[in-house]
Amino acid sequence: MGMAQTLMLLVLLIAALAALPWLIRRLQQQRAGVQAGAGGASRVLSAVAVGPQQRVVTVEVGAPQQRTLLVLGVTAQQINCLHVLPAPPADGAGFAAEMMAARAQVAQAGEGAHA
């Protein structure tokens, strides 16, 4: 009876050790799903190589209503945030409005110089 119990305990221990990687992977997937749902997905908008192991990367992060653009300097050793911008509206009207405001500002500066 003692030998059968020991053998059964050994089989259960080996089965538990075999199931452990699957269980850990499953928990990590669930945790990643919860974090992605809570914070929203991030996506890389552009990446430009500026050296052998250096890039400037633009990433969009945050919840859909509060998107933010991060301009990051990425090297093999570190990542630095170079600039933070609010995300433009989906329709692109934000850029056009900014250009019109810049033109008006330049025009006002030009009129002030002639006066």
What is the model's pLDDT at position 54? 93
Is 115 inside any structural domain? Answer: no
Residue among 110, 53, 64, 54 nearest 89 (CA): 64
Q: Look up residue 100 and give its two tokens.
A: 């019109």
What is the pTM assigned to this prediction?
Answer: 0.46
State how far the Cα of 100 lies from the Cα of 115, in Å rounded to an integer. Answer: 23
State how far the Cα of 61 lies from the Cα of 69, in Å rounded to an integer. Answer: 6
**How many domains is the chain partitioned into structurally?**
2
- At 27-51, the pLDDT tens digits run 888 776 665 555 557 888 889 999 9
Is 6 inside any structural domain? Answer: yes
57 plus 72 within the same structural domain: yes
Q: Look up residue 21 and give its two tokens.
A: 């990687």
Is 114 inside any structural domain? Answer: no
51 plus 72 within the same structural domain: yes
1 plus 33 within the same structural domain: yes
State how far the Cα of 51 lies from the Cα of 41, in Å rounded to an integer. Answer: 28
pLDDT at 10 over 90: yes
Report percent pLDDT > 90 for the chain.
25
- At 85-101, the pLDDT tens digits run 877 666 556 666 777 88
Looking at every residue in the chain, the average pLDDT score rounds to: 81
58 plus 102 within the same structural domain: yes
- Whole-Å CA distances, 56 to 44, 53, 74, 86, 95: 11, 10, 6, 18, 21
Which residues constitute the domain of residue 99? 42-109
15 plus 46 within the same structural domain: no
What is the model's pLDDT at position 100? 81
Is 96 inside any structural domain? Answer: yes
